[in-house]
Every structure is written in structure tokens, then in C-alpha cells.
Structure 1
Amino acid sequence: MPQPPQFSRIGLIGFGAFGRLIARHLSPLLPICVYDPVQTDERPRHPSLRFGSLAETAACPLVILAVPVGAMEPLCHTLAPLVRPGTWVLDVGSVKMAPADVMQRVLPPEVNLLGTHPLFGPESTRQGLAGQKIALCPLRGGRPLRLAAVLRHIFRLEVIWTTPEAHDRELATVQGLTHLIAQALNQVAPETLRMTTASFELMQQASRMVTGDAPGVLEAILRDNPFAADIRDSFLERAADLGRHPVTPRTQQSPPNAAGF
């Protein structure tokens, strides 16, 4: 079996849907201490997974912040006096510029920082993590190459190194439009349609994958990404233009001597 990462234990702050996903995949490798200020009925089901205080969780050598973007700043202020020098702190939010700014401003300079965005969720990983992607944004302390190797070789993830700005620019299109189209499709197309095409069913499948996301995820994608509004406005403008002036596809010429229809 591959060796676990160099961290002796992991602190996980936040035990919502994504926090539970993290715990399910990491707990077979390492002990995890979970802190969530909101009481939850979802109790740890693995012997290496337990709930602890914020101070206990912050004392771990790797601390994962699985909280909404809006909760990052107050959490980091509370966390700052608790984390130890050399600790790695990483977030898993859907936007990167705002959390990166908060962590760099608020957390002590002797703490290593990494922005991450797992480009998947509970719905898209029902068949496992292999082949999914994760974006890593080194903020302080360099590139954690051993952690990246664990993500690649143990979890079979595709690791993408990037910056917070480059991430948010690209994800404004990738996630912003996906959620926008999913919401619109859910409002205009009932699930009971019988005469569907393969392409339409793929659209419905994509819509179902994101409509189950927590409200905080949608808020981060559409409100906290600084580039989302421009992408959304551009898309809606072009959709309105198409509504007024539908595009006629170019007709292809039939091959010589081919029968027409």
C-alpha cells in the first residue's frame, strides 16, 4: 500500500457535505480531528475520525478549512493564535482570490498556506475520485510536492498548479455558466419529459450534478468570484441576441453523386 503523507494527523474545520466527503476519503489514511461549530447528527463512522475542540483541530500539522467563503475571515481571526509555526493551512473553496487574501492577511507569517479547489463534489464522485481534478494555488511555503504526489498517486487526482486570479478567471466560465444554465433549465424543463435526446439528457445530468450543491457554494460561484458578473452578462447578452436573431447553421454540400433527402 502507498505510504501516507508526512502529516501525522489532519484537522478538518467544517463538517458539511464537502467536509464529510473529505473525511470519508482521508480517514482510512490518517487520524482526523473534526471541528464544526454547528451541531450535526452526522457522526464520524471511522475509528480514526473524531470530533474535537477548535484548539485541538488547529494543533494538527495540516488544517483544512471546509467552510463557506463568507466564514473565512472570522474563522481565520479565531484560528490565528491557535495554529503552530510550520502548520499547513489550506482551504477548499470554489473561489480562490478572496480566501487567499484572507489567509495571507490574517494567519501568522510562519504558517504555510495553500489554496485548493477540488473540482468535484459529492454527486460527481459517486464512482470514486480517480480521474477527477484539483486546483492547487501555493500562497506561502512553496509547493507542497509530497502532498501533490499523494493526491496524484493515492487518490488518482489530476493536479493543476495555478494562481488564485487565473483560477477565478477560468472558473467564472466553467462554474458560473454551469450553475446559471442549470438553474434556468430546472425552471423551464420538467423532469418528466419522455421524448428526450441524448444531448438534452446530458444537459439534465449536468444540471442535477450542481443543483444539489449547498447554497454557500452557489453564492461563492456567482457572487464572490470577481469575474463571474462579466461572464454572466456576456452570456445573457449573447443569448438575448440569439433569441432575436437565431443563427442558421451552415449547410454542408452533399458529396458528388450522393442521394439527397
Structure 2
Amino acid sequence: MGTSTRQLNIGFIGFGSFAQFLAKTMTKQGHLIRATSRSDYSAHLGDNFIRDMDEFMGLEHDVILICTSIVSVSEVVKSIPFHCLKKPTLFADVLSVKEHPRQLLLQEVPEDSDLVCTHPMFGPESGKDGWKGLNFMYERVRVRDEDICSSFLNIFEYEGCKMIEMTCEEHDRLAAQSQFVTHTIGRILSEMQLTNTQINTKGFEKLIQVKESAAKDSFDLYSGLFIHNRFAKQQMKNLESALERVKGLLEAKM
């Protein structure tokens, strides 16, 4: 594992289940967590939940973490009152697509604030026993305060994540081949209403796991992976073409 990090004041914009999952470990490490969201999470954070966005942005955060859904991130970021910032701040996101938030943040975040795009490639289920060995992708998009940026990334390194630095473009290209295709197969299997049988093979059991895993994620997440990853469209075409080729091979044998 990496070395321990300095205490950071971290503000979350959006505090759904994934944000809460991240915040739990960050709190354990000693970081101060505050959040704002359209929904009321005061039961989770008490006075550290700030409903008013102007008030939230006026607090002196070291890091502001964007934890909204893919489909809502544009609306949320464009509504942030950046003029309330009292000092340059590191903005980061944890979305499952990367080129879209990178472009958005470069357009909207003040020039004197830093940007890092990240994708913790795990969640509450896969990370329930710890983050050791789990992939964490990041790109330092615009970094001047190396101390703050390194301290933020060290949160994940300290927990044992496999730290993968790559461009947002490369991430989306690879994620379209892996994450999007997996979600698509899971959705197709769900539409087929496949269920366990008395004569399951090991391979079929793995397919059921893919179906059930896809079902745990919202359709908003899946549609976001398609709409906001420019490489996903080609992967969908590849799946359709592959199915037609397989059908053709079978029909040729009849």
C-alpha cells in the first residue's frame, strides 16, 4: 500500500450510494467530508450536509468531488456557482465515462482551479472487503498544486488500489470494449429472462452472474455509458455484426 495522506477537506457534489461508499473510507482515513445534493442526506452527515449550493461552494474545500450520474453531470456542473469559491480548488470526478466530464470541466471550472479525472473501477459490492488490487484510473488534466493532487490520489493508493494513469480518451476506448460490452450482454440476458436451471453448466452460471450484475445498475448508468462514450456506438455495431455472422454460419450448415 501507499503512504498515508495528509488530511483533506473534501466536498461531494452528489451523495448517492457510490459517494457514500467512497466517503466511508475517506472518513476512516481522517478526511473531513461535506456534501451537497438535491436529495437530503443530513441523516448521514448532520451539519456537514449543506443543501444550499452557494454556501457549500463558499467553504474552503481542498477537493470538490463530482459524484452525480453520467446523464445529469452536464446540468449539475453548469449550475455550480463557481464565483463563490474562496480559493483555487482541485475538482475531480468519478464517472464511468471520462472524455465527457473532462471536456465539461475544462469548459466550466475556473482556470485557476485544478482538474483530475478519475474512475474507481469498483463499487460497494466489489469493494466491500477493501480496495486492495482494484483498478483506479486517473488523468491529471490540469494540476498546479501537486501536494493536494497527490494527497487526493494517495487516498486510493493507501488502500491498495492498482493506480493506472492514462488519458480519458484511452480509458473510454478500453471501457467500451470491456465495461459497455459486459453491461450490454447482461441487459440482453435480462431481456431473455434467463434463470437458473437444474442442469446449469459453469459457463451458464457465469452468464447468470453477468445478468444479475447488470440488473443492479440503473438504466441511466447504462444509457450514459452508451450516449457519452463515443466508442460505445461502434461496439454496439460490432455486437450486432457478430450475431449476424454467427447466425449466417449456422444457417449455412442447415
TM-score under structure 2 length normalisation: 0.86
Q: Secondary structure at the match of 1:131?
A: coil
- The residue type equivalent to 2:18 in the other structure is F
Contact 1:118 1:135 in 2 (8 A): yes
**TM-align CA RMSD:** 2.5
Cα deviation for residue 98 of structure 1 reads: 0.9
- Structure 2 Cα separation of the partners of residues 186 and 65 of structure 1: 31
Percent identity, please: 21
Stretches of structure 1 lacking an aligned partner (at least 5 in a row): 248-261
Of structures 1 and 2, the one with the larger relative CO (CA 8 A, separation 6+) is 2
Cα deviation for residue 83 of structure 1 reads: 3.1
Q: Which structure has the bigger radius of gyration?
A: 1
Matched residues, number? 243
Contact 1:64 1:91 in 2 (8 A): yes
2:168 aligns with 164
Going from structure 1 to structure 2, the CA distance change for 1:106 and 1:92 (only over 3 Å counts) comes to same
**From 108, 114, 121, the counterpart of 1:106:** 108
2:85 is the alignment partner of 1:83: yes
2:44 aligns with 44
- Structure 2 Cα separation of the partners of residues 27 and 70 of structure 1: 28
Going from structure 1 to structure 2, the CA distance change for 1:200 and 1:79 (only over 3 Å counts) comes to farther
Contact 1:7 1:61 in 2 (8 A): no
Going from structure 1 to structure 2, the CA distance change for 1:148 and 1:23 (only over 3 Å counts) comes to closer
**From 150, 154, 159, the counterpart of 1:145:** 150
Stretches of structure 2 lacking an aligned partner (at least 5 in a row): none
Higher helix share: 2
Going from structure 1 to structure 2, the CA distance change for 1:84 and 1:226 (only over 3 Å counts) comes to farther
Going from structure 1 to structure 2, the CA distance change for 1:192 and 1:199 (only over 3 Å counts) comes to closer
Q: Secondary structure at the match of 1:233?
A: helix
- Structure 1 Cα separation of the partners of residues 198 and 180 of structure 2: 29
Post-superposition Cα deviations, 1:131-169, rounded to whole Å, max 9, x if no partner, equal 2111101111167334333312x2111111011111111
1:28 aligns with 28
2:115 is the alignment partner of 1:117: no
Contact 2:90 2:116 in 1 (8 A): yes
- Structure 1 Cα separation of the partners of residues 219 and 138 of structure 2: 24
Cα deviation for residue 211 of structure 1 reads: 1.9
Q: Secondary structure at the match of 1:69?
A: coil
Post-superposition Cα deviations, 1:158-199, rounded to whole Å, max 9, x if no partner, equal 111011111111111111111110011122243232211112
Q: Secondary structure at the match of 1:110?
A: coil
Higher mean C-alpha deviation, range 165-174 or range 208-217: 208-217
